[in-house]
Each structure stands twice: as C-alpha cells, then as structure tokens.
C-alpha cells in the first residue's frame, strides 16, 4: 500500500468536490458564520423564481405538477442540484456530488413521461438525498473515514462489503422514480451528535455558528436549507431525530428494520442487540408518509431477511386519542422554549377535548443511555481505530471528546447480559405503558407520548458535551416508533428562569447554556412516541394533533 498523507487525501477530496459544482453555481467568496449566520437570505437571491418554488414546495406538490406535465423532472432536479450546491458551500453538508448522473436520470424520466404520459412510479422525478452510508454504484461510501477516499479496496474494508452492490433501499426508491444527486456528511463512524469528522464540519443553515446535530446532520442541514425535499438518515441513538430536532424537520426512527437496512454500510453492522435503523427525514409530513408507504409497499421482507412482514396500514383508527405528555425525565430539564412547546401542546390538546396525561419515566433514562453507550463501545472502539489507521488519520475530535473508553472488550457473557438487560428495559416500559389504561378516560392505554426531542434546540458547533443527550437514546433500546414533530420557534417570551431542582452537574451545565438571544428563531421540535412498529400511527397522530397543537 502506498504511504499517503491523510491531510492530502482530504484536501484532494475537497478540491474534487468543488470541481463537481458547475462554475456558474460557485460562490466567489464564502462569508464567515459571523458575517452571514443564515443561509437562505444569502442564497435565495441567486435562485430563479421557479427554482425557489420547486425547492420550497412538498414532493407531493411536485408530483402533482410532474403528473400534469407542468414541470419536468429535469427542472426539478436542476433546481435541487443548484440549491444543494449553494447550501453545501455555506454549510459543508455534502460529501459526494453527482449532478451529471442525476440530470441524465431526470432526462430519461422526462423522456418516459413524454412517450407514455405516465409517471414511472410514485416518486417520479423526486430528488432524494442520502446519508453517506448508502451505497450507489460508482459512488464512494466513506462513513466519515478518510481511507475510502484513497482506494476502492479501503472503501470496501471500511464499508464491510465485497462488491459494488447498491443498498436495497436505493433500488426501491430508484424503481419508484427517485433521482439521486448527492450524499451527505456524517461524523466518523456515525458516532456523535454533531456532524464533524476529519473530512468536514457541517454547520446549521439557520445559524452557521451552530451544529445541525448528528449523525445525520449532513441530511438535516441540506433539507432545512431546502437543498433537498426527502432525505434518508440512520439512527442508533438519535442520529435521525437529533438533527431533525435541531433543524426543524420531520424525521422517523422506525422500529428495527421496518425500513430495510440491507446493503447500507455501517459501523458494527452485526451488533444486533440495539441495531441502527434507517428512516426518512423531510420538511413535509405528507412527504414522509409518501416515501414510507413506497418503501413498505415494496414488500421488503421478501428481500431483506431482517424486515418483519408488516404491510403499510392505509388507515389508523383514531376516534378517541389518549396523549401522554412527558415534560422532562427528572434528569436533564429541557430549555425554556421546549418547556413552553410542551405546555402549549398540553393546553391546546386539552382545549380541543383530547385526553392528556402527564407521565414520568418508569426507569432511569440515564441508566438506559449508559447501557447503550456500553454497546456502542463494546469492542473498545477497536474497529473505529482500525479504520482510522488505514489512512493514518486520528480519531475525530468529536469521538475523542464524546466517548470515554475503558479498555474492556465485551465477552460472550456480556453479550448475553446485554440481551437480557434490553429485554428487561422493554418489559418495564411496556408494563408502564399498558398500565396507563387505568388512568385514561376511555380505559385504553396511551396512544402516544409527546416528549422533548433534545434538551436544547441546537448549540454552538463543538459544544455538544454541554448539552446532555438523554431524550432520544433510550427509545432505541425500547425500539419504539418515534416521529419528530416541529412545534414552534424560539421567541421573545422564552426567558430563562432560575432553578433550584438540578438533578446534577449535567443538568446544571445544560440549563445554564441557554441564552435567549442566541436561540431566537430556532426551531422547537418534540418527539411523538408510539409503540413498536407503529410508524403509520405516528404519522396519523401527527396529522391529527399538529394542527391542534400549533393552533393552525
């Protein structure tokens, strides 16, 4: 193997990406985050009215217009390529750019439509962005490591794959008519709740001083910057939900393998106790429903052995609804705007005659978080270190500050104990959930629990350790279906207030991090939690409840 300098590899990769942006879309000068906090006002003047319209509406609306022949797949694709290039130059959210292929594909779709007057499938001409774990023929997958940019051989080692085969989900979406055009950044090995690696540091399009979260932060930055309409992320501890919470998006963490993971590269792909899941991230709830239905209607269980054969339910009965509200977990209190969102949620639901019930965790979420961290680091990060060593790069700063290793490699007995412990946590929570039937008016258990998605709505890049991450991870262990639901934005009423009930240092540090001026205008997003494999119910509840909660 040739000895290479990993820094040179990274510089070459960045230069090569820049070359893939057409000259006319390149920005002459990139303002600093302090000079230009927000992306939209800077890039929108560079887009045509049609491009602005295309990148602003839902995929559903684009499809209606495509079907009516009012716009072409090429126009749609071009608009998203253009806007994604601009968002990327300000947020560093793309790791793979392949606009040429995308435009070719769009032309083929237009040609099919011209000949048949039919759409090729339910996602005809819709650009879909993919987190850099998805495999597409001829496109590198690097999952946050530098080595895959050196050679195909190293890419296959890091991606734990033998061939240039595509992710199965890519095939499903392609067959439905989707257009792929970019892959988005991830932190090294997808570990961390920011999106920085030695290759890139992605920033938040609403405030470039801040992080879009992680690990699907490249997706979230691109989507909230409107450089994409539908994206696909992955989540083993909040990697879809965190970025969606920080960026104001709808994101679904489905129960294990509801959405097929076959052929998606991953760290520790065979750690099956609490597996990573894939799921859609969108600006429109209807788009999230559409893409979910397309995926599940493909009957993925016939191809991916891990997918349970549960067809997509066309309708969910929601005559009377019981909504649980978990204001906080008694460990890390969320910031004032999140507390307000929860209060408004409860008040508005009650006003509309919907039965709500305040609930508290039946088991320590911090304890479950610690359990999950042990699973993440079960090999003392030997695999992560091995893949970093392939290029000579150090472990990312994010990994170094986030994970404390203890030198222990799990034994067979540890893996048995972990399986037992996960099942135990699930039993405790399921029993609690069933027991809510005794407390509701209609004698049925809660239909969902609405709770904070994170203790904070984003933070300054690099400061993730100040915001304890407790609201998403326990749900991976329980394997519940979870949808992030944007509720409001931080406003002038969200003043900080004094507290004396700190649960400990992490709670205090997080609480004191809040600064109204720093947060004004940022999105406030909650989690809507249903039970296992209730993705349809999450969506149906959000459709029913959000207009009430938002008072719209």
Among 527, 533, 538, 539, contact with its own copies (rule: CB under 8 A): 533
Q: Which of 106-114, 213-221, 266-274, 350-358 is the region at the interface with its own copies (rule: CB under 8 A)?
A: 266-274
Residues 6+ apart with CB under 8 A from 493: 340
Q: Based on the shown chain and the rule CB under 8 A, indicate whether residue 165 belongs to the binding site for its own copies.
A: no
Contacting its own copies within 212-231 (CB under 8 A)? none
**Nearest approach, Cβ of 267 to its own copies (angstroms)?**
11
Among 52, 273, 316, 520, contact with its own copies (rule: CB under 8 A): 273
CA separation for the pair 60, 58 (Å, rounded): 5
> Cis omega before residue 392 (within 30°)?
no
522 is in an annotated binding site: no
Strands 127-131 and 448-452: unpaired
Among 27, 60, 363, 410, contact with its own copies (rule: CB under 8 A): 410
Q: Based on the shown chain and the rule CB under 8 A, indicate whether residue 420 belongs to the binding site for its own copies.
A: yes
Nearer to its own copies (CB atom), residue 1 or residue 302 = 302
Size of the site for its own copies (CB under 8 A): 39
Among 36, 56, 151, 415, contact with its own copies (rule: CB under 8 A): 415
Assess whether 215 carries a catalytic annotation: yes
Q: What are the angstrom distances between the C-alpha of 97 and each of 29, 140, 201, 215, 292?
A: 20, 10, 17, 19, 25
CA separation for the pair 479, 425 (Å, rounded): 10
237 is in an annotated binding site: yes
Copy the structure tokens of residue 106: 């769009």
Q: Based on the shown chain and the rule CB under 8 A, indicate whether residue 180 belongs to the binding site for its own copies.
A: no
111 is in an annotated binding site: no
Q: What are the angstrom distances between the C-alpha of 306 and each of 156, 498, 532?
A: 22, 49, 15
Assess whether 131 carries a catalytic annotation: yes
Side-chain half-sphere CA neighbours of 505 within 13 A: 2
Among 16, 272, 491, 515, contact with its own copies (rule: CB under 8 A): 272
Question: 474: exposed, middle or buried (C-beta count within 10 Å: 0-12, 13-18, 19+)?
Answer: buried
Residue window 364-393: x/- pattern of binding to its own copies, with contact defined by CB under 8 A: --------------xx--------------
Residue window 461-490: x/- pattern of binding to its own copies, with contact defined by CB under 8 A: -----------------xx-----------
User: Is residue 541 classed as helix, strand or coil in its secondary structure?
Assistant: helix
Question: Which alpha helices (DSSP H) does 311-364 contain, by range?
Answer: 336-351
φ, ψ of residue 327 to 5 degrees: the values are: -70, -45
Q: Quick one: DSSP state of residue 204? A: B
Contacting its own copies within 233-262 (CB under 8 A)? 262
CA separation for the pair 228, 220 (Å, rounded): 9
Selecting among 215, 216, 267, 292, the annotated active-site residue is 215
For the annotated catalytic residues, the residue numbers are 131, 215, 239
Please report, as ranges, the residues that interact with its own copies according to CB under 8 A: 262, 268-273, 301-303, 305-306, 308-310, 378-379, 409-417, 419-420, 423, 426-427, 430, 434, 478-479, 531-534
What residues are designated binding site?
Answer: 190, 215, 236-239
């Amino acid at each position: 193997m040739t000895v290479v300098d990993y820094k040179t590899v990274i510089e070459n990769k960045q230069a090569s990406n820049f070359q893939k942006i057409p000259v006319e879309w390149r920005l002459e000068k990139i303002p600093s985050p302090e000079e230009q906090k927000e992306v939209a006002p800077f890039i929108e003047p560079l887009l045509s009215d049609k491009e602005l319209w295309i990148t602003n509406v839902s995929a559903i609306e684009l499809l209606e217009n495509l079907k009516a022949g009012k716009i072409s797949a090429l126009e749609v694709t071009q608009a998203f390529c253009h806007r994604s290039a601009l968002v990327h130059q300000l947020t560093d959210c793309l790791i793979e750019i392949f606009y040429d292929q995308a435009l070719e594909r769009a032309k083929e779709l237009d040609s099919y439509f011209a000949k048949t007057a039919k759409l090729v499938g339910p996602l005809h001409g819709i650009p879909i962005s993919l987190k850099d774990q998805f495999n597409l023929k001829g496109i590198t997958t690097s999952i946050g490591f530098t080595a895959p940019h050196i050679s195909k051989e190293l890419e296959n080692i890091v991606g734990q794959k033998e061939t240039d085969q595509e992710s199965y989900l890519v095939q499903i979406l392609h067959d439905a008519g989707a257009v792929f055009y970019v892959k988005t950044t991830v932190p090294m090995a997808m570990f961390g709740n920011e999106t920085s690696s030695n290759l890139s540091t992605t920033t938040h399009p609403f405030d470039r001083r801040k992080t879009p979260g992680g690990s699907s932060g490249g997706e979230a930055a691109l989507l909230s910057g409107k450089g994409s309409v539908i994206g696909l992320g992955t989540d083993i501890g909040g990697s879809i939900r965190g970025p969606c919470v920080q960026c104001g998006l709808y994101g679904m963490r489905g129960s294990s393998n509801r959405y097929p993971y076959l052929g998606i590269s991953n760290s520790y792909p065979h750690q099956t106790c609490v597996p990573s899941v894939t799921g859609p991230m969108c600006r429109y709830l209807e788009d999230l429903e559409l893409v979910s239905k397309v995926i599940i209607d493909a009957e993925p269980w016939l191809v991916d052995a891990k997918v349970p054969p549960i067809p997509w339910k066309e309708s969910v009965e929601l005559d009377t609804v019981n909504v649980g509200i978990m204001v906080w977990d008694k460990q890390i209190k969320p910031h004032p705007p999140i507390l307000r969102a929860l209060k408004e949620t409860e008040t508005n639901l009650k006003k509309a005659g919907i039965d709500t019930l305040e609930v508290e965790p039946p088991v320590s979420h911090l304890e479950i978080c610690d359990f999950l961290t042990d699973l993440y680091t079960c090999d003392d990060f030997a695999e992560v270190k091995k893949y970093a060593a392939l290029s000579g790069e150090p472990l990312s700063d994010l990994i170094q500050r986030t994970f404390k290793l203890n030198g222990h490699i799990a034994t067979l007995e540890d893996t048995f104990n972990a399986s037992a412990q996960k099942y135990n946590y699930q039993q405790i929570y399921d029993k609690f959930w069933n027991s809510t039937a005794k407390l509701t008016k209609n004698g049925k258990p809660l239909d969902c629990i609405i709770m904070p998605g994170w203790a904070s709505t984003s933070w300054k890049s690099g400061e993730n350790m100040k915001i304890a991450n407790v609201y998403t991870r326990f749900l991976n262990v329980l394997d519940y279906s979870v949808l992030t639901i944007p509720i409001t934005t931080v406003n002038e009423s969200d003043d900080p207030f004094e507290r004396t009930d700190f649960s400990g240092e992490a709670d205090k540090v997080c609480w004191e991090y809040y600064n109204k001026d720093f947060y004004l205008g940022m999105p406030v997003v909650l989690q809507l939690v249903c039970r296992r494999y209730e993705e349809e119910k999450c969506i149906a509840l959000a459709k029913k409840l959000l207009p009430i909660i938002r008072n719209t």
